[in-house]
Amino acid sequence: MDPAETVHNTLISALRTGALPPVRTALSPEQAGLSAPELVGMFQSQILSRQLDRIARKLQGRGEGFYTIGSSGHEGNAALATASRVGDIAFLHYRDAAFQIERARQLPGQTPVWDMLLSFAASAEDPISGGRHKVLGSKVLNIPPQTSTIASHLPKAVGAAFSIGIAGKLGLETPLAEDAVVLCSFGDASANHSTAQGAINCASWAAYQGSPMPIVFLCEDNGIGISTRTPAGWIAASFAHRPALEYIACDGSHLLESYRAARQAIDHARARRSPVFLHMQTTRLYGHAGSDMQASYMAKQEIVQHEARDPLLHGAALLAGLGIMTPSEILAMYEEAEETVARVAEEAIQRPKLTSSAEVMASIVPPRRASPRLNRPATEERAALFAGDETQMDKPQHMARLLSWALADLMLAHPQIVVAGEDVGPKGGVYNVTAKLHARFGSGRVINTLLDEQSILGLGIGFAHNGMLSITEIQFLAYVHNAEDQLRGEAATLSFFSNGQYTNPMIVRVAGLGYQKGFGGHFHNDNSLAIFRDIPGVVLACPSNGRDAVAMLRECVRLALEEQRVVVFVEPIALYMTRDLHQEGDLLWASTYEAPGEASPIPLGSVGCRGTGTDLAIVSYGNGFYLSCQAHKVLEDAHGVSARVIDLRWLAPVDADALLAAVGPCGRVLIVDECRVTGSQSEALMALFAEQAPHIRASRIAAEDSFIPLGRAATLTLPGRDSIVAAALEAVRG
């Protein structure tokens, strides 16, 4: 028999015969802080969650449902919904259907059963994902959608909690109230993941220093992750004695104890603005999912023991023992829920599905919103901000300094912008790009983080959930790999899986690429951008010079504020301090700073061009564009080749029309790519020219498929001026 039906029949039999388990608590509803109707309502939410699990399996068997990771055995999480407010944003574990159903009771007019069944059936009318995934979530209930996460949602929950205190400090009006609490839940197996460990450590690290961190971590401990056991006592041993982290334990099969613990956790986080680890013992009924046959790795007696801890059995025993409901009344409630869910399911599976790729992709790019009101600082205010730099601002400067001034102007104009990352504070960053920002704007807007890229990116996502815009910094491109799922699996998917209802606009500044002299090896000279380029919806910018960097950063802020985009802004380290192009002192790669309103904008997709020659178009970006400009002079002076050099600037999405127009009448194109032959931008560009401009003869020069070594050998695998000249001559002469 299907394990779900075994559990179902056991409950039915116990209610019919009155053979319910003994009540193992002397706690009364009044002592727990609940009224009898509230207790019954919570239990009814648990019943609806259970019946949804059962129907999900039946729908899958008919080919009408597509998700069977259920909540059965975890229904105790309803207690946290009862204890919290709708205003407390909740990032949920995928076994938390009872939480969402119970929270829906707090708002009139909600239809959680209908909503979840539309999700089960992958209907285009699913109110949260629009048929893109079975996810828990609701905009009106303040539950952002989560997919099948391995605790990857914890960093952004920590970021959201941290943002509440920062918003209060700055006097900003944000979606999360000043006394709001952030909730996030996860399983005991996920607690071992580096993402969970890092997020909880980050919350403790911040709280230990006195930073407000109003968050409740709900660990639903069922003792197993698919088939891998969690050692007995492991969660308590791991989390009960963390610094600045309150630990509270409860048994999720007992409604009153669960509620009392949840109430205690919420009250602690709300009043003290500090993190709580709520450890709820649960049981996993049926196995991990519909396809998981737990009898293959679990003894029959152990399965029976798990089934004996069914929260519905113990909830029924409690209600009957307190005289609130009779077993027959509970059975009638259970059967009525079964009939309701079955009837609604038949209607839900008939609703429309997504039928085209355009419909599927419609929510990858978020909907535009009205631009927030711009703070136009008075002339005196801006003059005071740059008082220490006024003598330098009319002189040519390198990229790092220009970016620093651009950041200051942006922060002055947009009070909701915060800059965050390791060493961005008083030090000004490793390359001095955030110099003086801390002195100008204070620690509430220039935030020194701990060394954990997952937490840094999570902070950015969480701040966006609270209506703020983060410009986070990752010190080196290679360090992104420690945290890339925060971009790929969390930031970039939110609009997609919420049908555009939720967005997390953010800007991630990344120092990277090759050619850095003097230190590093491959960790500081990483020449691969592939991890960004294949994430749908993410904007990837890469300026090659200071003037462009300023204009492009301003466009990135516009993209985030108006178009709600996730933006990665890659800054070539080797060009940070570069002033000269052909010879020392020519200052051809330095620029004066153009204040807001003075510079020509560089919209998303627009390309740059130097030269008007038609013999050859050299297409590049970043360091490659700089080297190609050097090669351009050699080609013209020494070889009589009339060329033009195109700067892509925006690597994702590439505006094919703009690029083809820039190439213009040139019959030959040379692509210069500082990233590796395999997986680089040049591969995509070669395909673009082959498919959309077959009359153009395209070739490429790219870095070797190698890591970058230390010292003088650092550039041996990379394109250089002379190798570009050689490749260009070969392209022109055929």
Q: How far is CA 511 from CA 450, 463, 526, 543, 553, in A?
A: 18, 22, 10, 11, 14
- Specify the DSSP element, H or E, that contains 70: none
Residue type, 37: P
- Cis amide prior to 653 (ω within 30 degrees): yes
Query: In sequence order, what are the residues at sequence separation of 6 or more whose Cβ sits closer than 8 angstroms to the Cβ of residue 654?
Result: 605, 648, 684, 685, 688
Q: Are 149 and 94 in contact, with CB atoms under 8 Å apart?
A: yes
If phi > 0 it is left, if psi is from -120 to 50 it is alpha, else beta; for residue 33 that is left
Alpha helical stretches, state H, 22-128 = 29-32, 36-61, 78-83, 97-104, 112-120
The bridge status of strand 469-474 relative to strand 417-421 is parallel
CB burial of 227-246 (b: ≥16 within 10 Å; e: otherwise) equals: eeebeeeebbebbeebebbb
Location of structure tokens 């729908």: 59
Q: What SS3 string covers 164-227?
A: HHHHHHHCCCCCCCCCCCEEEEEECCHHHCHHHHHHHHHHHHHHHCCCCCCEEEEEEECCEECC
Query: In sequence order, what are the residues at sequence separation of 6 or more whose Cβ sits closer than 8 angstroms to the Cβ of residue 341?
Result: 48, 51, 52, 54, 55, 113, 117
Q: Determine which one of 8, 268, 524, 632 is catalytic.
A: 524
Classify residue 383 as exposed, middle or buried by CB count within 10 Å of its CB (0-12, 13-18, 19+).
Answer: exposed
Q: Is 53 helix (H, G, I), strand (E, B) or coil?
A: helix
Nearest to 200 by CA among 181, 180, 179, 215: 215
Phi, psi for 119 (deg, rounded to 5):
-70, -45
Token pair, residue 115, equals: 């909503």
What torsion do the CA atoms of 317, 321, 325, 327 make, to the nearest 10 degrees?
A: 50
Verify whether residue 524 is a known catalytic residue.
yes
Which residues are known catalytic residues? 524
